[in-house]
């Protein structure tokens, strides 16, 4: 081997050594950065799940003006389907049914997103439909109840289909919202719309024969029909099935996973018998599309 070859060989060794040193430094640097990131306050922050279990109580945001989901009964007590589902979740979290395990915060629909994001409540169960624009505000579990828009009529009404209702001799109650007006125009444009200010007023208008039909959320319609056998629901739906879901502040995977697991078990697992009893209590039938397998 001549001198030139020796020098070139030494040069390559030196170059390889510099590359190895650079790679080693880069690896160490990335390790330090990763360690710092994982131990930063954002990553070290405990989950809401830990906080709830530590204090032994869960705070839940609910509606008090949306029967049958959440409302104040004649005795002044907060009651409803959402209230009972929240109590079942609290029982699952803590393993008992002590009243002090859960605190309800009555809230308006406008305040429900801010209340979870500010930490005022630990989660919300407030007749909340999963919609694309809402996903940017809060995190949703899977749906705890199926919903959709249906039409109610008197039991002895000749109206069987939307085509029957699409007649100038009939009237239909709608809320003062663009979406209900648009649905009425789409499915039965010939029927006369009568604008009312609440779901309760819509139902009363049908029951008293002031109008011939009204469009309601399916669970609400089921609740009214359960108590009023002289009213029925048309077989056709005005919308595809939707889901009402529990919601919480985004970014807390452990808390979301716990709540979503409870919902999943209610809809078709170990909590299904208790969930089905709650559903029967409020809607008079078993939950649809349940997948419960006894073991």
Could you give phi then psi for residue 147, rounded to 5 degrees? -135, -170
Q: For 75-99, how does the pLDDT look when each residue is reduced to its tens digit (9 = 90+)?
A: 999 999 999 999 999 999 999 999 9
Model-level pTM? Answer: 0.72
Q: Is the pLDDT of residue 34 over 80?
A: no
Domain holding 214, by residue range, is 149-237
Per the rule left: phi > 0, alpha: psi between -120 and 50, beta: everything else, 127 is left
Instruction: Look up residue 222 and give its two tokens.
Output: 């089921």
Stretch 7-29: mean pLDDT, rounded?
A: 45
250 and 183 in one domain? no
CATH of the domain at 75: 3.40.190.10
Q: Which region among 19-28, 204-213, 226-235, 282-291 has the lowest average model confidence (pLDDT)?
A: 19-28
**Is 27 among the domain residues?**
no
Sequential DSSP letters for 214-244: EEEEHHHHHHHHHH-TTEEEEEEESS--EEE
137 and 247 in one domain? yes
Q: Which of 237, 254, 272 is the last residue of a domain?
A: 237
61 and 143 in one domain? yes
**Pseudo-torsion of CA 100, 48, 112, 219, nearest 10°?**
-70
Q: How many domains does the chain have?
A: 2
Q: Is the pLDDT of residue 178 over 60?
A: yes
193 and 116 in one domain? no
**Is 216 among the domain residues?**
yes
pLDDT at residue 1, rounded to an integer: 52
Please answer whether residues 174 and 196 qualify as being in contact, where contact means their C-beta atoms are separated by less than 8 angstroms.
yes
Distance CA 251, CA 139 (A): 8
Distance CA 125, CA 63 (A): 8
What sign does the dihedral 283-284-287-293 (CA atoms) show? positive
158 and 227 in one domain? yes
């Amino acid at each position: 081997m001549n001198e030139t070859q020796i020098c070139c060989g030494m040069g390559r060794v030196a170059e390889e050594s510099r590359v190895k040193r650079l790679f080693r430094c880069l690896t160490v640097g990335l390790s330090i950065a990763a360690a710092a990131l994982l131990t930063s306050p954002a990553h070290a922050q405990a989950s809401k799940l830990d906080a709830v279990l530590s204090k032994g109580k869960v705070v839940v945001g609910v509606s008090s003006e949306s029967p049958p989901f959440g409302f104040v009964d004649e005795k002044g007590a907060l009651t409803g389907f959402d209230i009972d589902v929240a109590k079942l979740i609290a029982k699952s979290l803590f393993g008992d049914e002590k009243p002090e395990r859960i605190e309800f915060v009555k809230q308006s629909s406008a305040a429900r997103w801010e209340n979870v994001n500010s930490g005022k409540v630990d989660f919300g169960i407030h007749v909340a439909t999963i919609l694309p624009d809402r996903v940017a505000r809060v995190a949703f579990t899977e749906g705890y109840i199926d919903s959709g828009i249906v039409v109610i009529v008197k039991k002895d009404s000749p109206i069987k289909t939307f085509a029957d209702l699409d007649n100038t001799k009939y009237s239909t109650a709608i809320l003062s919202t663009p979406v209900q007006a648009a649905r009425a125009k789409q499915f039965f444009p010939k029927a006369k719309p009568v604008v009312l200010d609440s779901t309760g007023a819509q139902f009363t208008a049908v029951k008293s024969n002031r109008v011939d039909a009204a469009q309601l959320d399916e669970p609400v319609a089921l609740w009214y029909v359960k108590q009023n056998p002289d009213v029925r629901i048309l077989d056709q739906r005005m919308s595809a099935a939707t889901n009402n879901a529990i919601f919480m502040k985004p970014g807390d995977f452990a808390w979301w996973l716990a709540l979503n697991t409870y919902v999943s078990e209610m809809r078709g697992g170990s909590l299904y018998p208790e969930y089905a009893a709650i559903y029967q209590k409020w809607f008079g039938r078993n939950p649809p599309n349940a997948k419960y397998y006894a073991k």
